[in-house]
Amino acid sequence: MSSNETVAVLSWDESPTLRTISNHCDELLLALTQKSVVAIDITDDQPVDLTLIQLIESARIYASTSGKKLTLLKPASGHVRDVLERGGFLQNISPEDSNFWLHDGVK
């Protein structure tokens, strides 16, 4: 995790999958309790599964109810985008979710 006084950037070497998600959950929760903004950096070629999407969606709820901000460093692509599509998350997507996952409307 790299950070300045108010922003933490999480970048995981271990692929966020069922096998490792509890470690990522702990790191994400710690970042959200210590910083006002947390950005997640996921590489396009990093294997992921549905547990990452579940973790991020839960963290988004936690952040919004705690006055924090959670973002993706870049739009979902590669494996993350594939999991979102297969899971049906991109069908009838709300503008808020589209902005979060795909950075639609972000200037």
Q: What is the pLDDT of residues 39-75, one digit of tens each?
A: 999 998 999 999 999 999 999 999 999 999 999 999 9
Distance between CA 80 and CA 24 in Å, rounded? 15
Distance between CA 6 and CA 20 in Å, rounded? 26
2-102, CATH topology level: Transcription Regulator spoIIAA (3.30.750)
| Confidence (pLDDT) at 25 | 97
Q: Which residues contact 23 (CB under 8 A, 6 or more apart)?
A: 14
Domain ranges of the chain: 2-102
Question: Hey, what amino acid is at 69?
Answer: K
Q: pTM for the whole thing?
A: 0.89
Residue 88 region by backbone torsions, left for phi larger than 0, else alpha for psi between -120 and 50, else beta: left
